[in-house]
Amino acid sequence: MNISFNDDNAKLFISNQEVNSLQENVDHLHADLENKTGQGSDFLEWLHLPSRMPPSLFDLIHSIQEEIREQCNAFVCIGIGGSYLGTRAATTFLNSTTNVKNAPEIYFAGNTMCSDYHADLLQTLEDREVCINVISKSGNTLESAIAFRLLRSFMEKKYGKKGACSRIIVTTGLQKNVISDLAKEEGYRSFQTPDGVGGRFSVLTLAGLLPIAIAGIDIRALMDGALVAENELTISSDLSINSAYLYAVYRHLLFQKGKSIELMAAFHSSFEYVLEWWKQLAGESEGKKGKCLFPASAHYTTDLHSLGQRVQEGTCNLFETFLLMEKSSKVIEIERANGTEDGLDYLEGKSLDFINEKAYKGSASAHLEGGIPNLAITLKERSAHNLGQLFYFFERAVAMTGYLSGVNPFDQPGVEFYKNNMFSLLNKPNTKKGK
């Protein structure tokens, strides 16, 4: 894999003996995942999505991709959580490395109920050629449903009912629901996501692959990368080989030692929404029974000037995981100054990547001295292939962390609790407050 894991700055807190003591447990839990004998076994289809993806699905997505590009220059992805974050992570991560002619601009809706956001979006779309893709596995997610109603009305006013129909795509679960019924009634093109894949694990299904492809990203490369990770992380549960499981073990042990917050910090701006995707993956999968880490994120060096003091000298209840990029797609060096002295001559000829690396090493060592253990996950370079590896790496790691903690990583009872309360307050028919 083009992913490396470094635990050097955590060894003062976690001994090799402690890590190795969990090997037998990891072996059993790995077998539970592969044999579908553990908790949440009905939702393990994501485990081997890369190796079992039929070639015909690539062809289908390609044909839709070409059609959409001919129709529109603005594509709206409607969804929230797992129906949104994977796509946004991919498009943000790879935006400046893609150079595809005629790829529409990607917009997002359904991830907020803010009036101003939707009003501004609709205004922006007025003079664009628009297609939309509503993504909701359950078909009853309120944020997505509201955004879909608003945008469906907008599309029908703009193109007429028949014209709008050809520009609307529905992606939902296999089970009959409100959105699938609407798609059937109106004649919208409709696609299904597998029942055995939860929303937060769905980036490598049609829910993520279709809008990612429309954005101009090479989904074959993305899936090839995920396949590399699948093969490497499936073949053995040995902690000396399986870096995802080793990362999971450190997360588990650090939590047991009172480090209740994991701060994922990135020094490369393209990781912004990868961090947001990871927070949902970890928080919703592990956050049960009072046994879980709180996943937080930071963007360094920006947040070193706001959160750095808290990390360095605040309550020692966290650890850091640095998400790093070995090299950028482009190189910028500090040039010789002409004229006025600016005090940066000592950096002359140095690249921004070189300086960024020293910022990482300086903050990592300082935080370690402040009692904050830190781990490092390094991606070789920015590409669709490597992003596919990273998605799968985190999915494996989070699944193992959940199992080590004794929770079902594949359900979300707390989410259903808040939804019921919200629907009750909104007087939705046949809704009771509470679980």
Which position has the token pair 């499936």? 234
Domain total in the chain: 2
How far apart CA 224 and CA 202 sit, in angstroms, is 16
Does residue 254 share a domain with residue 379? yes
- Report residue 269 as tokens: 């701006």
Verify that 207 and 282 share a domain, yes or no: no
Does a structural domain hold residue 384?
yes
Q: Helix-strand-coil percent breakdown of the chain, rounded to 5? A: 55, 15, 30
Helix (H/G/I), strand (E/B), else coil: 403:
helix
Count Cα atoms within 13 angstroms, Cβ side, for 149: 9
39-83 pLDDT, tens digit each: 999 999 999 999 999 999 999 999 999 999 999 999 999 999 888
What residues contact 197, with CB distance under 8 A and at least 6 apart? 43, 45, 46, 49, 205
Specify if 321 maps to a domain: yes
Catalytic machinery residues: 284, 305, 419
Within a domain: residue 231? no
CA-CA distance, 333 to 349, in Å (whole number)?
Answer: 6
Report the C-alpha gap between 44 and 33 in whole angstroms.
Answer: 7
Strand partners, 107: 76
Q: Do residues 368 and 316 make contact, with C-beta atoms less than 8 angstroms apart?
A: no
Q: Which two tokens stand for residue 120?
A: 């501004």
CA distances from 70 to 106, 124, 170 (A): 15, 20, 19
Would strands 374-379 and 3-6 be described as parallel, antiparallel, or unpaired? antiparallel
Domain housing 319? 3-38+237-409
Please check whether residue 103 is in contact with residue 214, taking contact to mean a CB–CB distance below 8 angstroms. Answer: yes
Per DSSP, the residues of 16-75 read HHHHHTTHHHHHHHHHHHHHT-STTGGG-GGGGHHHH--HHHHHHHHHHHHHHHHH-SEE
Are residues 10 and 91 both part of a single domain? no
- The answer to whether residues 355 and 292 belong to one domain is yes
Per-residue DSSP letter, 333: B
Q: 339 and 249: one domain?
A: yes
Residue type, 75: F
Domain boundary at 217, 245, 279, which? Answer: 217
CA dist 391 and 431 (Å) reads 36
Q: 431 in a domain, yes or no? A: no
Note whether 134 and 166 are same-domain residues.
yes
Q: Indicate the pTM of the whole model.
A: 0.93
Strands, E assignment, 53-176:
74-78, 105-109, 130-136, 168-173
Encoded amino acid at 99, one letter? N
How open is the CA angle 17-228-386, to the nearest 5 degrees? Answer: 95
Are the C-beta atoms of 332 and 351 separated by less than 8 Å? yes
Distance CA 286, CA 291 (A): 8
Per-residue pLDDT of the chain (435 residues; tens, 9 = 90+): 999 999 999 999 999 999 999 999 999 999 999 999 999 999 999 999 999 999 999 999 999 999 999 999 999 999 998 889 999 999 999 974 455 667 899 999 999 889 999 999 999 999 999 999 999 988 778 889 999 999 999 999 999 999 999 999 999 988 888 888 899 999 999 999 999 999 999 999 999 999 999 999 999 999 999 999 999 999 999 999 999 999 999 999 999 999 999 999 999 999 999 999 999 999 999 999 888 899 999 999 999 999 999 999 999 999 999 999 998 888 888 888 776 677 888 888 888 999 999 999 999 999 999 999 999 999 999 999 999 999 999 999 999 999 999 999 998 776 666 666 666 656 677 766 655
The CATH number for 242's domain is: 3.40.50.10490
